Amino acid sequence: MTELTQEHFELHTKNKAEQHERQKIKFLEDRIKTLEKSIERLNKIVSIWKLGQEDKDDIEIYESVGGGFNLDEEKKS
């Protein structure tokens, strides 16, 4: 049977500490990946929103130069 010396306990403690550090690093790496995916999704949403705003601006410009129409007038016809 293995002798339970002070060196054995020190080695065991050292191995446990290293394993714990690896687990913490893995957790943080996974967290970073999750945050990167979230940022990518937010960037997509913002770019789609900006495109929508540009389209809305184009429509407003078109309507301001007389190219638009009034739905109420269409219903009267």
pLDDT tens track, the chain, 77 positions = 567 888 988 999 999 999 999 999 999 999 999 999 999 999 999 988 888 877 776 666 555 555 555 555 444 44
Task: Say if 74 falls within a structural domain.
Answer: no
Task: Say if 16 falls within a structural domain.
Answer: yes
Q: Cα–Cα distance between 76 and 74 in angstroms, integer?
A: 6
pTM beyond 0.85, yes or no: no
Task: Say if 44 falls within a structural domain.
Answer: yes
**Integer angstrom CA distances of residue 10 from 7, 13, 46, 59:** 5, 5, 53, 73
Q: Domain range for residue 54?
A: 6-65
What are the structure tokens assigned to 22, written together? 């690896």
Task: Say if 31 falls within a structural domain.
Answer: yes
Distance of CA 14 to the CA centre of its chain: 36
- Provide the number of structural domains found in the chain: 1
The answer to whether the beta carbons of residues 62 and 68 sit under 8 Å apart is yes
